[in-house]
Amino acid sequence: MSADHGKTAPSGDRLAHLAARYPELIAASDARALALLEQASPVRFPAGTVMFRERDPCRGFMWLLEGGVRIFKHSPDGREVTLYRVQPGDLCVLSLNALLGDRPYPAQAQAESDVAGLMLGGAAFLRGIGESESFRTYVMKMMSDRLHDMMALVSDITFHRLDLRLACLLGQRFERSGGRALRVTHAELACELGTTREVVSRILKEFERQQCVRLTRGRIHLVSQQGLDWFTQEEQAS
């Protein structure tokens, strides 16, 4: 993992940046926790940077201020499955797991856009866990929330049909885009779902046949949100 550390920001600026993205952390922090957070160093990663790889040692913890990070894992046959994304205000549970358990990263992280954050060294982070009750309570709560999200992902992968999961994924993306066409490849959707491009293409063709979407090169157009919703409702009724 390589990062541009840039110029050192004044400690007051660091706390102000953290307060904007992690207000609960700053509000709950005692004097020890605030002193700890002032030690964090600014870091930047260009879009596309692999921030850590599977089996890499964890040397610190980053508070994400700008951009987005995708956490994913490779299967033995080379397929990718997206575990979760980290946005400003989130904590990366696998970084917490690696630091607290003194173990390597079990997955890989990549910057999906230009990323800026504050990096706290591993020793300082662990010292904060041990010395500051407010810092420890905050981290444990955030870790619990993220583990709940990951258990929901495991449930989706294990128990839900792939067409349902793809319909839900498309519905979420269309909602974020305001119904505008999605610029996404079948291979990228396959990585999200942990399957192959061929399987995704086959399901999308069925969605198109059912007049839910329209497919063009590199884009997916929404035709009927109600049609996509039908797939999820059918699963819930079964």
* DSSP codes joined into one string, 216-231: ETTEEEES-HHHHHHH
If asked whether residues 128 and 109 sit together in one domain, one would say yes
If asked whether residues 151 and 190 sit together in one domain, one would say no
If asked whether residues 113 and 145 sit together in one domain, one would say yes
Chunked mean pLDDT (size 10), the chain, 238 residues = 45 80 87 88 95 94 94 80 88 90 93 94 92 89 78 63 88 90 91 85 91 93 88 58
If asked whether residues 140 and 196 sit together in one domain, one would say no
Q: What is the CATH number of the domain that holds 187?
A: 1.10.10.10
Residue 175 lies in a domain: yes
Short-list 7, 66, 73, CA closest to 42: 7
pLDDT at 214: 94
pLDDT at 155: 63
Q: Going by C-beta distance under 8 Å and a sequence separation of 6 or more, which residues neighbour residue 216?
A: 181
pLDDT at 37: 87
Q: Which amino acid is at 163?
A: D
Short-list 214, 189, 230, 175, CA closest to 80: 189
pLDDT at 3: 55
If asked whether residues 57 and 139 sit together in one domain, one would say yes
Range of the domain at 137: 11-158
Q: Going by C-beta distance under 8 Å and a sequence separation of 6 or more, which residues neighbour residue 162?
A: 193, 195, 199, 203
Q: What is the rounded CA–CA span in Å between residue 16 and residue 65?
A: 11
Q: How many domains does the chain have?
A: 2
